Copies of this chain bind each other. A is one copy, B any other.
């Protein structure tokens, strides 16, 4: 299809639903580029989505996320699942695309028609995971993926965001990547549904597990609560990964039984609606925030004739009273 042509979105969605990988890829690209067709795409996809189990995989650089994700995909495929993978890389804000490395590790699945792998670069100002990712997720969901893995680098806020997006969050650690203080620092102790100590063949893996166990010790956890397991894997060889897949399934069932799956999905939907509304407000701001008016406001602050809050009032006034 020529680049300049407006894509037939209804046709793309129909083809994506049959599992056409090119249509899936094209839709995710449109979502990622925040195409003007996004609204139409979302409306067409929404009736066919909402079934996928969303699994977040996060961990610090170097713990073996891509290898683990790839091994988990194999295990889930072995159990008959159709699997989508969104590898979100917040560390490459400039690339506008994803890094080759992740894709290469996933190439073992390249010829499997029931695996969809997609790398996404998060954009700086547009809120990282918050807008494009749930919509890319919906594409994979509507394409019949019953499990979608969202893989993020666990640094900064991304692991928190993925926990908000996922039904089940897997936190990966590895020996030699820093001690318990590091784990606490990254805030991962609050978000894991399943903890995996990868590179279990290396020295120190059982110590990492022991430390984690101590830190995760249930203090006043209610008896019906999910107790996050701590598993050991060697993703390179696949050792222990079937057990991870089994726990992913078990957590999914637990969520469903306890009404938590519905609650997480309702929260996720609220978050998405709010993110779309916020993006709309932001683009209204951006349309006002061009040219002379905005420069004048900045200069009045720099000249100490105004302050940033008063200047923001002027900007808001323009946003709220302009019909767009």
Instruction: Report B-chain residues with C-beta under 8 Å of the C-beta of A289.
Output: 270, 274
Enumerate chain A interface residues (CB-CB to B < 8 A): 38-39, 42-43, 46-47, 50, 90-95, 99, 122, 124, 128, 153, 155-158, 160-161, 185-187, 190, 262, 265-267, 269-270, 272-274, 276-278, 280-282, 285, 289, 294-295, 297-299, 301-302, 304, 306-312, 315-316, 319-320
User: Whole-angstrom distance between the alpha carbons of A307 and B48 in the complex?
Assistant: 11
Main secondary structure of the interface of A (DSSP, over half): helix
CB pairs A–B below 8 angstroms (26 shown): A38-B309, A42-B309, A43-B310, A46-B307, A90-B156, A90-B157, A91-B156, A93-B160, A94-B187, A95-B187, A99-B185, A122-B157, A124-B161, A153-B155, A265-B302, A272-B308, A273-B294, A273-B298, A273-B308, A274-B312, A276-B309, A276-B312, A277-B312, A277-B316, A278-B281, A278-B282
Q: How far is the CB of A6 from chain B (nearest CB, A)?
A: 18
Instruction: Report B-chain residues with C-beta under 8 Å of the C-beta of A280.
Output: 312, 316
Copy number of this protein in the oligomer? Answer: 2
Write the chain B residue with the least CB distance to A159: B93
Q: Once the chains bind, are A187 and B93 in contact (CB under 8 Å)?
A: yes
User: Whole-angstrom distance between the alpha carbons of A310 and B190 in the complex?
Assistant: 33
User: Whole-angstrom distance between the alpha carbons of A282 and B281 in the complex?
Assistant: 9
User: Whole-angstrom distance between the alpha carbons of A304 and B273 in the complex?
Assistant: 14
Q: Once the chains bind, are A302 and B50 in contact (CB under 8 Å)?
A: yes
